[in-house]
Amino acid sequence: MRLIGRIADGATDTSATAVLLKDMESEVSSESLVLIENGGEGGKIGKVVGVLRRGLGRNELLNLSRYRPDIAYMKYGGEPSSSREVFSFQISLIGEVEEREGAIRIRPNRKIIAPRSPVYLFDDDENPLERYIAPSAKQLEWLDAHLDGHPTWRVPADKFYVPYHVGVFGATGTGKSWFTRYVLIPFYIRCGLRVLVLDWSGSDYVPYYEDVVPISEVAQDEISILKYLSGITDKFAGNASMQDVFDQLVCSWHDLLNRVHTCDELYEEIQRYIRQYIDQVDKRWRSNAERASDRIFRKLKPITSARSWEQEESPLC
């Protein structure tokens, strides 16, 4: 391990900031795993594993809150001084290393990280996932994935928690579908589970699997269809009469699907059915029905245009 910095002021039991040693900013990057010897050399309070996040570079001489000579010098093309330049990384703590009877495991850290504690970066031949994280698993398994930048550092997983809820979160384009398709699903299957994937768009998973069931073949009973339509239209715009007319429509839903061939045609048939109902409503209540209809059809839209059922299934069917 290499000493890369020390803990700065303001550390807590869940996060800390590491001030990097000179020239370490060119060697250290975010998402790197580090070991903190809490309390000084040797870890007098304990040893804590963490991950570097959100790097920050500061130069007191270039602080824009005050006009300084160095800023004026740089303004005219001069090279400002780096004598007061500091680089740092925030550290998200993973847990404290507990060594008991020769066994090593990670447990939640509950101790404040002491300022001045040394921070070490793991070398390539020192796999912290295998040494510190893996022994903590109740039923150890390994994902078909490795830590970025370290091909030999495979990611451990605890099979014991497979039945628990799992969330995969991230901004668009960060690889959620890729991770789920190539890492998470194969891991579940390897653990002896069967996997049911609901791909509403039909583009994230459908092209990569053979056993695909169109959404039109799932939950075609009248109650499920009516419940679905109620959910996407805010309970039919809160209008009981509209709920009744959609209930009547759903009773002939399968006959309706046999008469149309595209999502647009289905949409037009539904609009025609609702329009016929509104025309029969008493004039005293017709305006209420029209407003409810407008609100419903602002929510209820076909997902495709001029495409056949064989090409893509509509959420309306």
88, 56 contact by CB (below 8 A): yes
Can you give the residue ranges of every domain in the chain? Answer: 2-122, 215-299
> How do strand 46-59 and strand 85-100 relate by DSSP bridges?
antiparallel
List alpha helices for the chain, DSSP H.
69-75, 128, 176-179, 185-190, 222-232, 234-237, 240-251, 253-259, 263-280, 283-299
Q: Position of tokens 């740089």? A: 74
Q: Are strands 140-146 and 103-107 parallel, antiparallel or unpaired?
A: unpaired
Per-residue pLDDT 10s for the chain (317 aa) are 899 999 999 999 999 999 999 989 999 999 999 999 999 888 899 999 999 999 999 887 777 777 777 777 677 777 777 777 899 999 999 999 988 777 788 889 999 999 999 999 998 888 999 888 888 888 988 998 998 889 999 999 988 988 888 899 988 888 888 899 999 999 999 888 888 888 877 778 888 888 887 765 666 678 888 888 888 888 998 988 899 999 998 888 878 878 887 878 888 889 999 999 999 888 888 899 899 999 999 888 776 433 444 444 444 54
What does the block give as tokens for 238? 């809160």
Smallest CA-to-CA distance from 135 within 112, 97, 103, 111 is with 103
Q: Which amino acid is at 3?
A: L
**CA separation for the pair 141, 147 (Å, rounded):** 15
Question: Tokens 């653990």 map to which residue?
Answer: 191
Helix or strand run (H / E) with residue 261:
none
Q: State the DSSP string of 143-210.
A: EEEE-TT-TT-EEEEEGGGTTS-------TTSSHHHHIIIIIHHHHHHTT-------SSSSSSGGG-S
CA angle 67, 69, 73 (to 5 degrees): 110
3-class SS of residue 264: helix
